[in-house]
Amino acid sequence: MENYFDKRLDPRLLVEGSKSVVSLVLNYYPESIQKPDVPQVSKYAYGNDYHEVIKDKLKLFLEKIREQIGDVGGRVFVDSAPVMDKSWARKSGLGWTGKNGNLIHPKNGSFFFIAELIIDLELEPDGPIKDYCGTCTRCVDACPTDALNTPYIVDGSKCISYLTIELKDELIPQEFAGKMNNWAFGCDICQDVCPWNRFSRPTRETAFQPNELLLSLTANDWQDLEEDQFSVLAKNSPIKRTKLKGMKRNVLFSSKPE
């Protein structure tokens, strides 16, 4: 994002001649969740990697548009370029940005992926909706690492999702010991406590159905896992981003006393 600031602001630099951004969301909320006594994995990673699942759907959608309208130029985007997903989705009325930094819809909560079609077709835009967070601070109060001390702004350097996925250092900073709440890949705390997620309903997308083996592994299971076993387990899964070494680091640290 930082390296392509101009493209963040002007999608025409990504798709020549583009005139519209079509924002879409896809629910990933699971039917059941992990037991609390095992290393926790963010719900978005329960099933298959969403990048490929959604990209295939968007390509099909673009083909359907072309069948109906004709030669429409465009590209699909799923976390694959400097596109401001939440900003475009908010402008299009798919939700408001909550105090936890997530896009929240008043009827669907926030457990969904965001994607875009950027096309050269002129469309009448939808408008944004109001912020319904009000005086609620449940997400701010619940964050164990104080990553939400300034509402609406996530301090990435303190976010458990960053620490367990993006941080590639050999060790997680000691200041977070005893504050990880057993999260080994990502974190859903600020979404789990959000009152709007009482409206979340289980996804109908079969590709997002939970990998029961992945979700049932204990801390000891993770430490005993070999590379070839991890390769099978992580195939088509978002957890492959951390590699086995990263998962073992996270599992060991997430239960460390302060």
**Which of the residues 10, 56, 79, 146 is marked catalytic?**
79
For the chain, counts of helices (H) and of strands (E): 10, 7
Q: At what angle do helices 227-234 and 243-254 cross, to 10 degrees?
A: 90
85 is catalytic: no
Q: Which helix (H) or strand (E) holds 162?
A: none
Helix residue ranges, H only, the chain: 5-9, 50-69, 85-91, 138-142, 160-161, 189-192, 212-216, 219-224, 227-234, 243-254
- In 3D space, the residue among 170, 181, 248, 252 whose CA is nearest the CA of residue 34 turns out to be 181
- In 3D space, the residue among 190, 78, 173, 182 whose CA is nearest the CA of residue 137 turns out to be 190
CB 83, CB 116: distance < 8 Å:
yes
Distance from the Cα of residue 109 to its chain's centroid:
13
CB 74, CB 63: distance < 8 Å:
no
Query: From CA 119, how far away is CA 116, in angstroms rounded?
Result: 9
Task: Return the active site residues.
Answer: 79
